[in-house]
Amino acid sequence: MREFRGQSLSWQLTDGVCELALHREPANEIGTALLAELEQFVAALDALQNDVRAVILYSRLRSGFSAGADLRELYRRMRGLTAEQRVAGVRQFLERIHAVLNRLDAAPATTIAAVHGVCFGGGLELALACDVMVADKMARFCFPELRLGILPGFGGIPRLKRDVGNAVVRDLLLTGRSINAQRAHAVGLVAQLAAEGQALAVARATAQQAAKFDSAARSRAKQFSKPIPYEELQREIAIFCELFARPAVEEGLRKFVESSAPLPYLP
């Protein structure tokens, strides 16, 4: 298979470059549907690894790259369950998304996230698994999870720590504020800035360049420069589950789901 058209995402492989488009309305929230198609994608990426030299992840939606985890689905699924059942369910989901992001992180091809609009929470965690982040200058980045009484759960802290200084990690995490693309570029989160509407074009040019290189050298360069923090990733799942068991999290999710505020991600 060299192309796929799903409900939440589609991809195609052309001349060594695989482009994956996210298109789950309204804002590419990552729930069970999108996760299942990401699992199919990373399995295909493994099968096609001799043919894929670069991968671009982008969004077809105006809203942006991704608003993060599907909190409405999470809230719907957790209602009526015991605390133990909730934690077991969320742990299973986290193990699955970590498996996907670890495989994307370790893929021998050069992976590029072309980001525009919102890149929040789980969406930022997806982008952080890529090798190079290209951002439209109107993009915004945010880890709002503490506002809900939880931490980023898709590998966000270990991968953010890998890319930027710890003071930046704490600023993003402990304030929950969103930063613009210029700031993200200045702190080293974003590799390349693009004009409005040009992130995909810049990512395509970058992919063409990356695809020229010898595959063995590219793969070894990735392994050497971008080690995957497996132990911290497992620790993150454990901390997330500890926090998730508390009633305050259900209350935080309820407020978010029922909010009609103009900026609903604010507490």
Partner 1 sequence: MRTVEQTLEEILNLAAEHFRVPRGQLSPDDDFFKALRLDSLQALELLTRLEQHFGVELPDYEFQGVTDFRTLADRIQARL
Annotated catalytic sites, by residue? 145
Both structure tokens of 242: 């500890």
46 contacts 10 by C-beta, under 8 angstroms? no
Could you tell me how many helices (H) and strands (E) the chain has, helices first? Answer: 11, 11
Q: Does 7 bind partner 1 (CB under 8 A)?
A: no
- The nearer residue to partner 1, 118 or 228, going by C-beta atoms, is 118
Q: Does 10 bind partner 1 (CB under 8 A)?
A: no
Calpha distance 142→169 (Å, rounded): 11
Site stretch for partner 1 (CB under 8 A), options 61-69, 80-88, 99-107, 216-224: 61-69
Count residues near partner 1 (CB under 8 A).
22
Q: Does 68 bind partner 1 (CB under 8 A)?
A: no
- The nearer residue to partner 1, 117 or 122, going by C-beta atoms, is 117
Q: Which of residues 156-215 bind partner 1 (CB under 8 A)?
A: 175-180, 182-183
Helices (H), the chain: 32-47, 71-78, 83-106, 122-128, 156-163, 166-175, 181-186, 199-210, 215-225, 230-244, 247-258
Q: Does 123 bind partner 1 (CB under 8 A)?
A: no
- The nearer residue to partner 1, 41 or 120, going by C-beta atoms, is 120
Site stretch for partner 1 (CB under 8 A), options 12-20, 60-68, 80-88, 95-103: 60-68
- The DSSP symbol for 150 reads -
Which position among 31, 64, 122, 155 is part of the footprint of partner 1 (CB under 8 A)?
A: 64
Q: How far is the CB of 139 from partner 1 (least distance, A)?
A: 8
Report the chain's terminal Cα–Cα distance, integer Å. Answer: 44
Both structure tokens of 74: 């999470």
Q: Does 223 bind partner 1 (CB under 8 A)?
A: no
- Cα–Cα nearest to 192, from 177, 205, 211, 179: 205
Q: How far is the CB of 132 from partner 1 (least distance, A)?
A: 22
Distances 251 to 85, 144, 147, 248 between C-alpha atoms, Å = 17, 16, 11, 5
Q: Does 221 bind partner 1 (CB under 8 A)?
A: no
> Binding residues for partner 1, per CB under 8 A?
62-64, 117-118, 137-138, 140, 175-180, 182-183, 262-267
